[in-house]
Structure 1
């Protein structure tokens, strides 16, 4: 009788242990936080509309996605903004790729994503209407983000991020309310998700 009770007790313990292991797999992971950056001021050079000459040279604005703040050029920045141009920190091996998809639905870095860094002649995030993250409407003289265009970044720390630019104008106004004559441009509003554990899943 004692032997049977001992066997039942042992089986019960084993069952409990296996149940705990199974439950560990069912524990939901904490969703990654979406970081929102609003009105990052990075206006382009001021150009004389009559002559086409640059009359005021403005600097790039250096941003650390890891720290979520503006930094100096000598610090570990990931992206630099100026006008519609976005640079990556090639000296720190920062890379970027442009992909098409719904921001919320991109759960990992696609296998076919082509990452690159800046060179003397090219940008990892292409410039020009329709080439990178924006379209330029020559009829309304406005810049608008391309819907479904997401920027993937490999940061200075080697972590992956997905980033979506939402607006190029101060206050993130609706497209219909943008007046290029009076609405300040070069003010980025964007959101991003950082995967800090080194994996390619979001």
Structure 2
């Protein structure tokens, strides 16, 4: 009888501890999957039209919108993409870096990139250095000289550590308004798929 009581006490304590542990476990919010459509990236000059200038368009994965304050994660102007981390590259009209964001380039199907890479793979902007390399074939796009079209490189996924330490991934679908590359005037409008993890520090994507 005494042994039976001991067993029941142990079982009760174990059940209580398990219940407490379950209650203490953090509740993770689901990742947000979305598509940003026609994000403008205008620039002045370039392509033989004088020095490149003009404000960058700043985007926040947390809000899923263009922003004008310091909460931005990445910024667009023409084919250039900046990250809110590191220091200024030395471009005219580029925004100040106010956070510790960074980015990495992964190769593979967008759906197959399920976790942010090791910290060593992430880069920040620096003087004369882009975290996301520029130029045809170097970063996210190729340029076709025959038809003057910018094409995103298939299988290039940009993983971003955001301005406040969250993780996101993005896949650029098009550089043209309404996905229409038939007219060069439609250029400098980004459409991209992205996944944002709202759980601080969680690398799951």
8 Å contact kept, 1:98–1:113 = no
CA distances 1:7-49 after superposition (whole Å, capped 9, x unpaired):
998899799889989x99xxxx8752212110001123244x6
Q: Which of 74, 78, 101 is matched with 1:79 structurally?
A: 74
Structure 1 Cα separation of the partners of residues 155 and 163 of structure 2 = 25
Number of the residue aligned with 1:69: 65
Corresponding residue for residue 156 of structure 1: 163
- Tell me the distance in 1 between the aligned counterparts of 2:102 and 2:139: 14
Bigger shift: residues 10-19 or 131-140:
10-19
Are 1:147 and 2:154 counterparts?
Answer: yes
- Paired with 1:112 and 1:55, the residues of 2 have a C-alpha distance of 35
| Greater gyration radius | 1
Aligned to 2:94: none
Q: Quick one: distance in 1 between partners of 2:83 and 2:10?
A: 59
Task: Indicate conservation of the 8 Å contact 1:61/1:70, yes or no.
Answer: yes
Question: Could you tell me whether the CA contact under 8 Å between 1:150 and 1:162 is conserved in 2?
Answer: yes
Taking the aligned partners of 1:139 and 1:181, their CA distance within structure 2 comes to 13
How far has the Cα of 1:123 moved from its partner?
Answer: 0.6
Query: Shift in Å at residue 145 of structure 1?
Result: 0.6
Residue segments in structure 2 that go unaligned for 5+ positions in a row:
87-96
Whether 1:193 aligns to 2:192 is no
**TM-align CA RMSD:** 3.1
Pair 15,71 (structure 1): closer, same or farther in 2 beyond 3 Å: closer
Deviations 1:128-168 (A, max 9, x none): 11111111111111001100100011111111111111100
Is this contact kept in 1: 2:149–2:184, CA < 8 A? no
CA contact (8 A) 1:167 1:189 kept: yes
Q: Does the alignment pair 1:170 with 2:186?
A: no
How many pairs were matched up? 189
CA contact (8 A) 1:101 1:149 kept: yes
Question: Are residues 85 and 19 of structure 1, via their aligned partners in 2, closer, same or farther at CA, if it must alter by over 3 Å?
Answer: same
Residue aligning to 1:97: 104
Q: For the Cα contact (< 8 Å) 2:136–2:143, is it kept in 1?
A: yes
TM-score (norm 2): 0.76
- SS at structure 1 position matched to 2:179: coil
Aligned equivalent of 1:88, options 83, 92, 98: 83
Structure 1: stretches of 5+ with no match in the other structure: none
Normalising to structure 1: TM-score of the pair?
0.77
